[in-house]
Amino acid sequence: MKNIRFLDANEIVYGEVEKLSPHTVKITGEISPNISGFRLELDSGAVYGKYDGFTTLFKEIEGGFILSDDGSIYVEPEPMPEPEPVPEQTLEEVQEAKVAEMNDAQQKMIQEGINVTLTNGTIEHFTLTDHDQTSLVGLQAQVLAGEENIPWHTSDETEHCKFYSNADMELITAAAMAYVTWHVTYFRDLRIYIRSLADKATIESIRYGVEIPDKYKSDVLKAMEVA
């Protein structure tokens, strides 16, 4: 316990004094708040701590109080606002979000492309980006025109373009068109299936490639599956 003498009092009171910051000091003990400033004294009466400028009641606390020497007082912080509740998605919103997700998956699958076994038995991979698909339409026309030595390239960016025979280019374009047609057809049926569902959890669990119930399959998709 420290000997505390407030500047407006003659008697010493006893308590604990703790400097909280350059401008605040805490006093605890059976002491009433006093804003006259104070000093700390030894039993001999010698002063060893001067707090004359601490004349503002910063805050009352349990078992004591805090004084400041710059006029500052404690201000309760603004309560944190409750977060706005996130509105639950409607069934239609869940359906359309899943449709958009599946469309992205379809585009990614198409653009990653296909492996094609050529007439000599080698397997080469071809990407099917939008640009590739447009180019393949032109290549298909060259095949139909009976041209030989048709220039094209694999997905390997370290390889140069090269010439393909008419037979090989026919294999490449046919496989590419069938692959794109499959995914476009599958996605359209999947979209119809998703929009038929009324359970959000079921919709959210759907992944691209899931088996579509027969009642939602088009005749085209059924024929492709048989083929």
- CB 118 within 8 Å of CB 171: yes
Query: Residue 204 and residue 221: Cα distance in Å, rounded?
Result: 23
Give the number of other CB atoms < 10 A from CB of residue 6: 19
Q: What is the pLDDT of residue 37?
A: 96
pLDDT, tens digit only, all 227 positions of the chain: 899 999 998 899 999 999 999 999 999 999 999 999 999 999 988 999 999 999 999 999 999 999 999 999 999 998 989 888 989 999 999 999 999 999 999 999 999 999 999 999 999 999 999 999 999 999 999 999 999 999 999 999 999 999 999 999 999 999 999 999 999 999 999 999 999 999 999 999 999 999 999 999 999 999 999 98
Query: Residue 40 and residue 47: Cα distance in Å, rounded?
Result: 6
- CB 68 within 8 Å of CB 62: no
Q: What is the pLDDT of residue 223?
A: 95
Q: What is the pLDDT of residue 107?
A: 96
Closest CA to 26 of 49, 71, 57: 57
Sequence letter at residue 142: Q
Q: What is the pLDDT of residue 10?
A: 87
3-state secondary structure of 130: helix
What are the residue ranges spanned by the domains of the chain? 2-68, 91-226
Task: State the distance between the two ends of the chain, measured CA to CA, in whole angstroms.
Answer: 94
- CB 25 within 8 Å of CB 51: yes
The strand pair at 150-152 and 162-164 is best described as antiparallel
Q: What is the pLDDT of residue 122?
A: 96
Q: Which residues pair with 59 in a beta bridge?
A: 66
Quote the tokens at residue 113: 């492309």
pTM: 0.64
